[in-house]
Copies of this chain bind each other. A is one copy, B any other.
Amino acid sequence: MSDIALGLEALARLLSADLMRVENPDSLVMGVAPLESAGPNHLSLARDLRQVKALRKTRALAVLISNPRLIEKSPCSVLQVEDLSKALSLAIAYFHPEPELAEGVMPGALVDEGVRMGLGCRVEPGARIEAGASMGDHCHVGANAVILACCKLGSRVRVGPGSVLGTPGFGLRREGERPVRIPQVGMVVIEDEVELGARCTVDRATLGATRIGAGSKLDAAVHVGHNVDIGRNVIIAAQSGLSGSVKIGDGAVLGGQVGVADHVVIGAGAQIGAGSGVGSRVAPGARVAGYPALPVERWLARSFFRSQKHPSAERDEEPRS
């Protein structure tokens, strides 16, 4: 519960919602909570009909919904919106604002003198940034993250705790039976507003640069190999791995635990189902799943006789909480 309070009508204005039902007109909303744990001053959220049971039992003061069939199932006040995720985001940001964090290099972080850092950056304890690296304004580097000398970060980049950027790519040749490293002297370029989750790894290029395009978001434990080129606004879920020289077009979405073989090209806007193994080109806008990855329709057909549902190619972008 926060110490911020708002009446239902003011809340409806804040969220651009229609107040479809009012049960307790004088009560104040003071926080956001899941249906199951909400109390009499909470706003809650019901996403679809599978949540009717929880909705009927909720003690919340009001619920956010999008589907009109949920209005009559609600035991409390109802705010209807078109974009549920956006309204939820606004409500959380209003009632549970994130604390302002001080700028600067926190105690226990080790940033070399030669690092160029823009305005308003924050480097958490235990993070290590080598001379030669650079970053723009308002970046956030998580605790115990490692950014090596060959990395150039844009502005408003977030690097999750424990992530490692700039290690040499895994390029090997054999000398007799011995595997020997090919020197890796390229860069890592992370553009504006990229966010990397916890424990990601991004390898530097052999020559040239490994690049992650502006606005792309990577979940935890994603591995990006050397010379990979990720476009803008790409979404990659947890534990996925991109082999050397993979190219991913703007706006593509990769589910969790996806693997992409080296040099494969994935077109703009393509959607790759969770757990897929992608060994060949994926056309722009295509939806594929499976190992090896198939068009979703064919993969579903194969899966049907096994009476299993498919992992959705598109990540459900928000929890029902």
- Using a CB–CB cutoff of 8 Å, the interface residues on chain A facing chain B are 32-34, 36-37, 83, 85-86, 88-89, 92-93, 96, 98, 107-108, 110, 124-126, 128, 142-144, 146, 148, 160-162, 164, 167, 169-175, 177-183, 185-186, 193, 195, 197-199, 201, 203, 205-208, 215-217, 219-221, 223, 225-227, 232-233, 235, 237-239, 241, 243-245, 250-251, 256-257, 259, 261-263, 274-275, 277, 279-280, 290-294, 298, 303, 306, 308-312, 315-321
Q: A172-B317, A173-B86, A227-B319 in contact; A179/B217 too (CB < 8 A)?
A: yes
**B319 close to A169 (CB less than 8 A):** yes
Cβ 8 A contact of A259, one of B146, B250, B274: B274
**B321 close to A207 (CB less than 8 A):** yes
**A298 close to B306 (CB less than 8 A):** yes
**A183 close to B34 (CB less than 8 A):** no
**A198 close to B92 (CB less than 8 A):** no
Q: In the complex, A124 Cα to B127 Cα: how many Å?
A: 12
Closest to A277 in B: B275
**Inter-chain contacts of A179 with B (CB < 8 A):** 215-217, 233, 235
**A319 close to B83 (CB less than 8 A):** no
Instruction: Count identical subunits in the complex.
Output: 3
Closest to A44 in B: B207
**Inter-chain contacts of A148 with B (CB < 8 A):** 161
**Inter-chain contacts of A256 with B (CB < 8 A):** 223, 241, 243, 259
**B316 close to A197 (CB less than 8 A):** no
Closest to A173 in B: B85
